[in-house]
Structure 1
Amino acid sequence: MGISLANWSEKWFPDAYVFAAMAVVIIAIIALLMGRTPVEVGVDFGTHYWDLIPFTMQMAFIIITGYVVATSKPVHKLIEKIADIPKSPKIAIAFVAFFALITSLISWGFSLVFSGILIKEISNRVKGVDYRAMAAAGFLGLGAIWALGLSSSAALLMATKASIPPELYEISGTIPMSDTIFTWQNLVMIVVLTVLSIWIAYVSAPNKDKAKTAEMAGLDYSRKETPEKKKGDRPGEWFEYSPILTILLVALGFIYIGNTIADLGPIAALNLNNYNFILLMIGLLLHWTPRNFLNSVSNSVPAISGVLIQFPLYAGIFGILMNSGLNDVLVKFFLSISTENTFPLISGIYSAVLGLFLPSGGGKWIVEAPYLLEAAKELNVNMAWIVQVYNATEALPNMINPFFMLPLLGVLGIKAKDLAGYSILQLIFHVPVVLFLVWILAKTMPYVPPIFQ
């Protein structure tokens, strides 16, 4: 059933950019029906189009820094050692699932590249592993718990005043990370979903006689070593192959991070800019020379094209939404069908469904946040928990939407349909569990007034 659905979606689903563009058109039409003129809608769209440029760059750097760290020589050697551990196909697939989930808590960009390299190394060591099941296992972090970790777009955005659109800030203020991802409730969701995901990956893994291996699919994961250039051919290239500049830059970077943590504390210091800055410094250090670092950055650039071109569309949607009065309509709608008890569940279902059409954790939150947080405030529901409801449920449609699969597909040289069957199997189990968790844990989160600083 999963493979049939994947083939259908590959044939009929347009590119992720088309989903975002369609959302702009739909919101614009609704705004016109609500009385806005075409000129007003166009002005709303264009005026806000560039509002998310800082946030867009921050999201692009999450991908770049994750890629840079994962492809560094020390991390690659670590992956090679880890790949020697599993000895059977089922254990290998569960093993990949575990590391995909754990690394996604550090960075979703890092997780995809790390998992892709790990899959290729294990494929060269363990015979009879189904490449489709292992690829789906490598994607699990993005479909389960990544948004509950340190690279959570919504949580980082709400903790960073400079990244929050002014209209949204007036509703929510800032929401510190200590109230979102650094809570025991969030830890419960992480543990439950991790155990569930690994169990499904293990029990659903085909035996050797039924497995379709990478070799059967015509995939060659054998390493082709290319000689590494150790020094420049010209005097002008000397600094490119010397670690001197790297050492100085990293020293300055760590002085800044140490000072910031000393002033604010480790949790308050973790905002989008500092998070990316830390990963960037680690990437510089791991690659050691500017030339190795720049080569890795160049290889990461294709993976950020979707973010760069789509996020301005989400900002345009936000502008139309806020100025047309549609935001107020949606707030009233959610208030009419929700109570303090049911709102976390209803908002979770809504976020999951919308994720099929707007496959972007941060960009989609910008669209949803105004009316979800306003409704939460009216119903005396903890707004920080609504951020976490969003984080847990918006990951669900990633299991069947190819947008976030792209970096992993590129590393493995496969198509979305190859892993969609097993990822849909995970989705079937995850949906009821996630919805139950966001509902039952909401009862432990008291309402907290907005923080304006």
Structure 2
Amino acid sequence: MLRWLSRPAVRLVERYLPDPYVFVLVLTLVAAGAAIAATPTRAHEVLRIWGDGFWNLLTFSMQMLLVLVSGFMLAHSPPVARLLDTLARRVHSAASAIIYVTLVSLAASWLNWGFGLVVGALFAKALARHVRVDYRLLVASAYSGFVVWHGGLAGSIPLTIATPGHFTAETIGVIDTSQTLFAGFNLAIVAALFVVVPLINRLMLPGDDESVIASREALEEPASNPVRPSRPAEHLEHSRLLAGCVGLAGLAYLADYFFLRGQGLNLNVVNFLFLMVAIVLHGTPTRLLASLQAGIRGGAGIVIQFPFYAGIMAIMTQSGLAEALSGWFASIATADTLAFWSFISAGIVNLFVPSGGGQWAVQAPVMIPAAEALGADMPRIAMAIAWGDAWTNLLQPFWALPVLAIAGLKAADIMGFCLIQLFVTGIIIAAGLTFL
């Protein structure tokens, strides 16, 4: 039945979902029009908000570009490429490939969202070189594992409210992760998704006559030709000693960061780790730069689209549109249903504000007073917003950009399969938040 349902979903998305750049242009106009129509903000004020906020994500844009580039360079270092190739050779059927790549992506995303995006895409590409499997579903399966990230160890909302001095601490205090990430209802949701998401992906596997198979030649990376250095500069460019000293110094810093200072993962640390390991494993600066040139081409979408999302986020937050939307859902909720409506409203807001930290900043001022007035469970409400933020990423191509760049696909190629997962995972998450 799921294979039958996935066919019209794939055709629908292929026909009507535009390129992510066009998608963000449409969202910009929708957000601006809704702000003018639904809030007291006037047109010229919306225009100012949009322009002033356009560059607010420059730091994050560079971080995301480095997620793509550093992960690409790491995966294309000879040792990692051999490891991925070895693991992929152990998989002998299309069904196994779909299940394995989903589980790997789920586990990696639960540890850290940036790590999950890169690892899942790279493993999917390695599998496609050895197994005859629908490449669109394989990459969609890798991306679908991303749905668990906000219920995992790097979830920005539960980590924010567990930090002393966070911006809502005076209202709700500090909420330990034992009440959010490691609460029984959250662990049950994560466990259910680890079972159901791979199964759904497997059941959507098209038959041989409908599968889109990527050619092995298109997935192979061009071999590098060895160069014999002749000038002093070339000796430096091909120096293993130079690369090794810098790379090992970076790894020594990470050892101090993790083991002596006891710090945790964040996006900057993940990028630093990927980059330093890539420097060591490539062996010479020349090999690393060749890999960089191959990887940077896929980052064009990130560079051009993220400023537009920054402008949309500014419109949603500063006009009061996101607050009004959240307030409407809170107004129809009860103590028992507030978590459900918080989840739904967060999913809608996430289409326009695809940022976990931004999501909490937008919705906390509305949902916290609602939870207090209704006597609802505050940790559960916070996790409902976190899960809503993660859930509609299955429809929002913003976070898929690094995966698509690595895989060499378009958003329309994978989002039809993700649409099925959107409905299935939405039911599981909503039920877990409401009834467990």
TM range (shorter): 0.7 to 0.9
Find the residue that maps to 2:346 and give its secondary structure. helix
1:95-154 deviation per Cα after TM superposition (whole angstroms, max 9, x unaligned) = 232223233345555545544554454445445x44444343333323x32444456566
1:58 match: 63
Alignment equivalent of 1:370, drawn from 350, 361, 368: 361
Contact in 2 for aligned 1:31/1:324 (Cα 8 Å) = yes
Relative distance call for 1:57 and 1:439 in structure 2 (3 A) is farther
Contact in 2 for aligned 1:373/1:386 (Cα 8 Å) = no
- What are the within-5 Å matches in structure 2 for residues 61-72 of structure 1? 61-72=66-77
- What are the within-5 Å matches in structure 2 for residues 92-103 of structure 1? 92-103=97-108
- What are the within-5 Å matches in structure 2 for residues 148-167 of structure 1? 148-149=151-152, 152=155
Kindly state the Cα deviation for residue 90 of structure 1 after the two structures are TM-superposed.
Answer: 2.3
1:194 match: 194
1:297-354 deviation per Cα after TM superposition (whole angstroms, max 9, x unaligned) = 3333233333333333343344444443445534542431233432221121223344
Which amino acid in the other structure matches residue 305 of structure 1?
A: A
Relative distance call for 1:314 and 1:409 in structure 2 (3 A) is closer
Find the residue that maps to 1:139 and give its secondary structure. helix
2:262 match: 265
Contact in 1 for aligned 2:73/2:291 (Cα 8 Å) = yes
Which structure has greater helix proportion? Answer: 2
Q: How many residues align structurally?
A: 427
The TM-score normalised by the length of structure 1 is 0.76
Relative distance call for 1:10 and 1:151 in structure 2 (3 A) is farther
Contact in 2 for aligned 1:90/1:207 (Cα 8 Å) = no
1:413-439 deviation per Cα after TM superposition (whole angstroms, max 9, x unaligned) = 555555445434433422211211233
> Is 1:79 matched up with 2:74?
no
Contact in 2 for aligned 1:180/1:384 (Cα 8 Å) = yes
Which amino acid in the other structure matches residue 376 of structure 1?
A: M
Contact in 1 for aligned 2:13/2:416 (Cα 8 Å) = no
The TM-score normalised by the length of structure 2 is 0.79
CA distance in 2, matches of 1:183, 1:204: 32
Find the residue that maps to 1:270 and give its secondary structure. coil
1:42 match: 47
Find the residue that maps to 2:336 and give its secondary structure. coil
1:212 match: 211
Kindly state the Cα deviation for residue 194 of structure 1 after the two structures are TM-superposed.
Answer: 1.4
Contact in 2 for aligned 1:89/1:207 (Cα 8 Å) = no
1:282 match: 277
Relative distance call for 1:255 and 1:58 in structure 2 (3 A) is same
Kindly state the Cα deviation for residue 365 of structure 1 after the two structures are TM-superposed.
Answer: 5.2
Relative distance call for 1:105 and 1:229 in structure 2 (3 A) is farther
CA distance in 2, matches of 1:278, 1:262: 14
Alignment equivalent of 2:336, drawn from 331, 336, 341: 341
Kindly state the Cα deviation for residue 226 of structure 1 after the two structures are TM-superposed.
Answer: 1.6
Relative distance call for 1:24 and 1:88 in structure 2 (3 A) is closer
Relative distance call for 1:275 and 1:234 in structure 2 (3 A) is same
CA distance in 1, matches of 2:230, 2:86: 34
Which amino acid in the other structure matches residue 238 of structure 1?
A: H
CA distance in 1, matches of 2:290, 2:87: 25
Which amino acid in the other structure matches residue 370 of structure 1?
A: A
2:240 match: 243
Alignment equivalent of 2:231, drawn from 234, 245, 257: 234
- What are the within-5 Å matches in structure 2 for residues 99-178 of structure 1? 99-106=104-111, 108=113, 110-126=115-131, 129-142=133-146, 144-149=147-152, 152=155
2:18 match: 14
What residue ranges of structure 2 are gaps of 5+ in the alignment? none
CA distance in 2, matches of 1:79, 1:120: 9
